[in-house]
Structure 1
Amino acid sequence: MKKIFILLASAFLYTAASAQTTWTADKNHSNVKFTVTHLLVNDVDGTFKNVDATIVAAKPDFSDAKVAFTVQTASLSTDNENRDKHLSSADFFDVANKPTLTFTSTGITKTSDKHYALKGNLTLAGVTKPVTFDLWYRGTITNPMSKADDAGFQLTGVIKRSDFNFGSKFGAAMLSDEVTIKANGEFAKAK
């Protein structure tokens, strides 16, 4: 009987220790930004304001995190109405036919304190490719308004437009092939 009790207690402790927690992005404090170089001399920035993201982790340092996000491409803003219309067209995001940009992580490796290499699959304009981003876990705090735990993250990296056949009508002299991605997220712990 004592052995059965010990086995049950061990199973319970293992389950409790490995319980995963889901964290959901606060849309009011999260976004995805990009930067591309125009005509080889000037950076142009854009922001996606409608982002749904989740992080699932069992470890408090997020070293086992699984990250997923979906961006509504129609929420694009570059602070220029004509440019936004062009970027929404079939030349680029093709918002009418491909309304989302998605990322799903496939692995995470700690690179230093609170910094990780986050591997995953990025789908952009209907093309899915493996990418690696840098993920910075900025810390966890009790939100004074909601009294819930909030965690902050910043994701950064560089992708190539050509890998996704994105904006293929426009050569690197017009728009850089490399696009810098920066995402900031404030995530609330599920209750």
Structure 2
Amino acid sequence: MKKIVIASALFLASSLVGFAQTFKVDKAHSKLGFSVVHLSISDVEGSFKITDATLTSSKDDFSDASFALTADVNTVNTDNERRDGHLKSADFFDAAKFPTISFKSKSFTKVADRKYKLVGDLTMHGVTKAITLDATLNGTTKNRDGKKVAGFKVTGSLNRTAFGVGSMPAAMVGEEIELKASGEFIQE
């Protein structure tokens, strides 16, 4: 009898809390981009390939979501091979020593309809710091396989020198980096 009561209590608790849903990134429809000011006069844009990202949430509006993302530093692409090689070098990202950039969320707070504040730890160049980003739920739909798909856009900024990335003066390469990520996540 005691086992039945415990099992019933666990079932009731899980139905009240909801079941966490896990979503995996659709790499073909996701991107981690950045922009930095060059010579104080123009923007240089680039991107990294996302190697893995997950979204977990038990609520339909994703207000309790958690995110984790990993990107490959060796895939940096600014449409200039020489610059990309320099960015991979010890002068900037030091991809041989620090081959990944990762993010792990701490909170995802709804601030308006489809708008959220995403707070988490960003690890880059061997340094981990908390950052706050703006997130927008673009929407949800079903894919051809009938699986739920959620689309998000995330924007924000960070100071590259706080992560030890690049010793170039700000007049040559801006210290403030604008981030822009977009992703589709498919429910498992």
Give your verdict on TM over 0.5. yes
SS in 1 for 2:169: coil
**Cα separation, 1, equivalents of 2:145 and 2:42:** 41
1:158 and 2:166 aligned: no
TM superposition score normalised by structure 1: 0.91
With the length of structure 2 as denominator, give the TM-score of the two structures: 0.93
Unpaired runs of 5+ residues, structure 2, are none
Q: Which residue of 1 aligns with 2:182?
A: 184
Residue 108 (structure 1) shift:
1.8
> Alpha-carbon deviation of 1:50?
3.4
Are positions 1:39 and 2:39 aligned together?
Answer: yes
Q: How far apart are 1:110 and its partner, in Å?
A: 1.2
* Unmatched runs of 5 consecutive residues or more in structure 1: none
- Match of residue 173 from structure 1: 171
- Report the 3-state secondary structure (helix = DSSP H, G, I; strand = E; otherwise coil) of the residue aligned with 1:50: strand
Aligned to 2:116: 116
Alignment size in residue pairs: 186
Determine the C-alpha separation between the residues in 2 that align with 1:50 and 1:75: 9
Tell me the CA shift for residue 137 of structure 1: 1.1
* In structure 1, C-alpha distance between the alignment counterparts of 2:49 and 2:166, rounded to whole Å: 21
* Residues in 2 aligned to 1:89 and 1:7: alpha-carbon distance in whole angstroms: 58
Secondary structure of 2:37's partner?
A: strand
- Is the Cα–Cα contact under 8 Å of residues 50 and 69 in structure 2 kept in the other structure? no
Provide the rounded CA distance (Å) in 1 between the counterparts of 2:136 and 2:119: 13
The answer as to whether partners of 1:50 and 1:75 remain within 8 angstroms in 2 is: no
SS in structure 2 of the partner of residue 59 of structure 1: coil
The Cα RMSD (Å) is 1.7
Specify the code of the residue in structure 2 equivalent to 1:55.
L
